[in-house]
Chains A and B, each alone.
Chain A
Amino acid sequence: MAKKLGLKERYALMTRGLDWEPSYQPLDKLFPYDSYEGIVIKDWDAWADPFRLTMDAYWKYQAEKERKLYAILDAFQQNNGQLNLSDARYLSAVKLWLQGVTPLEYAAHRGFAHAGRAFRGAGARIACQMQSIDELRHAQTQLHAFSHYNKFFSGFHNFAHMRDRAWYLSIPKSFFEDAMTAGPFEFVTSISFAFEYVLTNLLFMPFVSGAAYNGDMATTTFGFSAQSDESRHMTLGLEVVKFMLEQHEDNVPIVQAWLDKWFWRGYRLLGLVGTMMDYMLPKKVMSWQEAWGIYWEENGVALFHDLARYGIRLPKHHEVAAKEKNRLTHEMWTVLYQYGNALGLHTWVPNDEELDWMSEKYGELFTSMYRPRLLHLRELEQRGERFFNNRLPMVCQVCQIPVFYTEPDDPHVQCVRIVEAAGTKHHCCSDGCADIFNREPMKYVQALIPPQQIYRGEAGGARDIFEYGAWLHLERDVDTGEYRGSPDQRHWQAWQQQHKATPADAA
């Protein structure tokens, strides 16, 4: 009788020796992309496969999840689940997600296909391939979930066009393209480790819990369904970093430089997520400051302490993030609010209850500095002079966020750093971004900077922000601008009223 096999043993046997040492082609010709970064791998067999999933098991688990997920999405659509939201303002968060984050899922799919081809170690290749197909899942399930919102609300319909063009979507796009155009080792360090392992909770927790809390069944469902995939991806992230560090001591400074870079780049990107948490969720889950405290200052820092035995220290400029945590989202919202004519989502001044929540969460600096500013904006709006800044912002050459954050030690002074390469000056938003630029200037001089493209006439010859919006296929004051008085708000109120008038509701 055949002996019974455990899962781990079964995996080992089923993938046993599938790869081989080529005889007819040089190994470097089969795998041309995994050596130029300087990472030394002495023994690929030391790679411990983090997933140990055979395809038959993978299909079985994933199909079960997909069946449940699509059953819920079907019901959500049939039952007009969108009417259960806390408020239509919430959808600004979902719009930002579809425009800015769903494309990252797709980018991850392609990036991991590249890594899943590039590594000469078979175990690492399979792990990356599995993540590649998972990320395709995430991109598609999100599209399928959001597609229903597109039928009833603005700002969703033109996401594919905006994804490649809009100034604020250059922030996530340049982030991921930076990773994808790096070598495969840096790619997995940036995405699997820095982003998915270290920072993922900051993305996931507010978004998925926020969705649940605000009655968004569609997002909640794919979000929770993706969580078991994510835990595999996080395992891969930790595995790959430890593997590099254990393989050779020369790898340590390379990995450290990547961690410095990707911590900062990831943190800058998450400023958008923090703003979503603090401002776009009508029902709040947790403030950015609290989330940063728990997920980075406690968990993230503990993880870095674990890596200290390999000679890894905390990423550069982490202390700046700590100094900024009570103002990051307020500064970002001010920017989004004023450039609202070139956004595919709505902005607004928070109501009193929300301002009180912020005062409670953020204390003195918010109450003395940002609250009066918001109240002033509200006053202008009530006078019929809703404030818009219709000039294009100057953006950071690295993270592409408008240069508007303040000095780490002085919230009253704008922080600008000038860097130079090949005789040209560029602006950065911070020392973190300036460091990244200076390490690879010839990479970052290539960056496409949307406001400069507009000035050069490369945005369909747009001469002002409204023509620019039209070039983005944004319908003025429908997709863009102030929430109050927007068609989204009017529809929402009408649907809610109609809803209240129906007898089922009275029951």
Chain B
Amino acid sequence: MTIDLRTTHVEPLRRNFDHIAARIGDDKPASRYQEGVWGLQPAVNFHYRPTWDPAHELYDPTRTAIVMRDFDDFVDPRQYYYGTWTMQRARQQESQEKNFEFVEKRGLLAALDDAWRVKLVELVLPLRHVAWAGNTNNASICAYGFGAPLTSAAAMQMMDELGVAQYLSRAGLLLADNEPRFLDDAKRVWMTAPMWQPLRAAVELSMTIADWFELFVAQNLVIDGLVHPLVFDRFDRRLAAAGGAGFSLLNEFVVDWYAESSRWVDAMVKLAAAESADNAARIVTWTSDWRARIVAALAPLAEYGFGPDGTATLAEVDAGLVARAARLGVALEG
């Protein structure tokens, strides 16, 4: 027997869990995002010190120099909990899939001459390794960071970076009729070509950063914040002009993801900087430090990609980062 339960009126006793009500009251129910992240990380009474880091508690706010009254304030402007995140990515994946088919069927990259194709292989495809480092670094932020709102979004960023690495791999495969030769070429230049070594050294250095918020700034604000505009915007335009318009279609996911995830990155940095002058000063130091390192590392790549316009193009991208940081309350020297 099934009963039509809709006809029964049942008065709720409360709307929210106590820890959620403490933040937003009990008048209206929390969103699934709020319910899914606030208070999720255990707060006290940790039983044992980590054998891998006995100087800290299992969850420990002092793994970063950033000080917050409440790390649960780091809410994601995209309001991603697992369900909304994965459904959004699945939609993007579907559209990206169509793009791959379209480019392949129409032979859109056939018009690209060999010189440009080599440039594409040597300048764009090695970025799959940079994205791979982005994956590893965001795993650190998720593992050692503090507070479920920020660390859960870092876990999504970790998987997204893996997705970026794989989409770039797929573009490389498509260029070579599903043979891995361009991926192997790209790896070779990443490992040995002098123009890539400064960036590789910087990326390897980023993987040793102990302070997870510094790592957040280095990876998500500076490395991605310079590399993506330089390559997936500026270089992509050059490529399009040279008959490689199909390539933009292969990177739609990467471009959309970067724009979207930047909203999250910006909100985190802005909030931390606004919390205190000390925080802001540290973020300025980290950003300046990494900006100098990455801009220098990108110089030979800009020259390779843009020839005589390399310096100016990189300067433009760098100015973009300075302006972006300024909007976040992080004043860098111009």
A contacts, CB < 8 Å to B: 1-5, 13-20, 22-25, 29-30, 32-33, 36, 54-56, 58-60, 62-64, 66-67, 69-70, 78-84, 103, 106-107, 109-110, 113-114, 116-118, 125-126, 129-130, 132-133, 136-137, 139-141, 143-144, 147, 150-153, 156-161, 163-165, 170, 173-174, 177-178, 180-184, 443-444, 446-448, 473, 491, 495, 498-499, 502-505, 507
Contacts and interface: CB of A to CB of B under 8 A. Distances in A.
A54 B81 CA distance: 21
Interface string B1-32: 00111111110111111110000000000001
Given A129-B158, A137-B83, 5 more contacts: A29-B208, A126-B162, A132-B155, A151-B13, A160-B40
B42 A173 contact: yes
B129 A16 contact: no
Interface centre among A30, A129, A170, A504 (most CB of B within 10 A): A129
Interface string B172-206: 01100111100110010011000001001100110
B106 interface: no
Given A19-B132, A54-B166, A133 B58 contact: no
24 contacts: A2-B178, A5-B178, A13-B169, A18-B128, A18-B132, A19-B132, A33-B52, A55-B162, A55-B166, A59-B90, A63-B87, A106-B41, A110-B41, A117-B139, A125-B136, A132-B139, A141-B82, A143-B35, A151-B12, A165-B44, A180-B50, A448-B47, A499-B8, A505-B7
Contact of B51 (A1, A183, A503, A507): A183
A140 B81 contact: yes
A505 B43 contact: no
A473 to B, nearest CB: 6
Given A113-B143, A160-B39, A63 B18 contact: no
B18 A129 contact: no
A24 B201 contact: yes
**Chain A binding surface SS class:** helix
Interface string B89-118: 111011011000000100000000000000
B148 interface: yes
A59 B93 contact: yes
B86 A59 contact: yes
Interface in B144-158: 144, 148, 151-152, 155-156, 158
Contacts of A32: 52
A165 B45 CA distance: 7
Nearest to A158: B18
B257 to A, nearest CB: 11
Interface of B: 3-10, 12-19, 32, 35-36, 39-52, 58-59, 81-83, 86-87, 89-91, 93-94, 96-97, 104, 128-129, 132, 135-136, 139-140, 142-144, 148, 151-152, 155-156, 158-160, 162-163, 165-167, 169-170, 173-174, 177-180, 183-184, 187, 190-191, 197, 200-201, 204-205, 207-208
A56 B18 contact: no
B272 to A, nearest CB: 20
Contacts of B177: 1-3
A129 B82 contact: no
Given A132-B155, A144-B36, A173-B42, A178 B48 contact: yes
Contacts of A70: 83
A147 B39 CA distance: 14
Nearest to A22: B204
Nearest to B96: A56
A129 B139 contact: yes
Nearest to A79: B5
B52 A183 contact: yes
B6 A136 contact: no
Contact of A139 (B14, B40, B43, B45): B40
Contacts of B41: 106, 110
A416 to B, nearest CB: 21
Given A18-B165, A110-B143, A157-B14, A164 B7 contact: no
A144 B32 contact: yes
Which 7 pairs across A and B sit closest by C-beta, in order of nearness?
A63-B90, A504-B4, A55-B163, A117-B139, A113-B143, A151-B12, A113-B142
B233 to A, nearest CB: 23
Contacts of B39: 160
A455 to B, nearest CB: 15
Contacts of A55: 89, 159-160, 162-163, 166
A114 B145 CA distance: 11
Contacts of A15: 165-166, 169
Contacts of A4: 178
A160 B17 contact: yes
B105 to A, nearest CB: 11
Contacts of B128: 18
Interface centre among B5, B179, B208 (most CB of A within 10 A): B5
A66 B83 contact: yes
B204 A495 contact: no
Contacts of B50: 180-181
A150 B142 CA distance: 29
Contacts of A79: 5-6
A116 B143 contact: yes
Given A24-B204, A66-B87, A499-B8, A103 B166 contact: no
Contacts of A2: 104, 174, 177-178
A130 B41 CA distance: 19
A117 B18 contact: no
A229 to B, nearest CB: 11
Given A164-B43, A177-B48, A143 B36 contact: yes
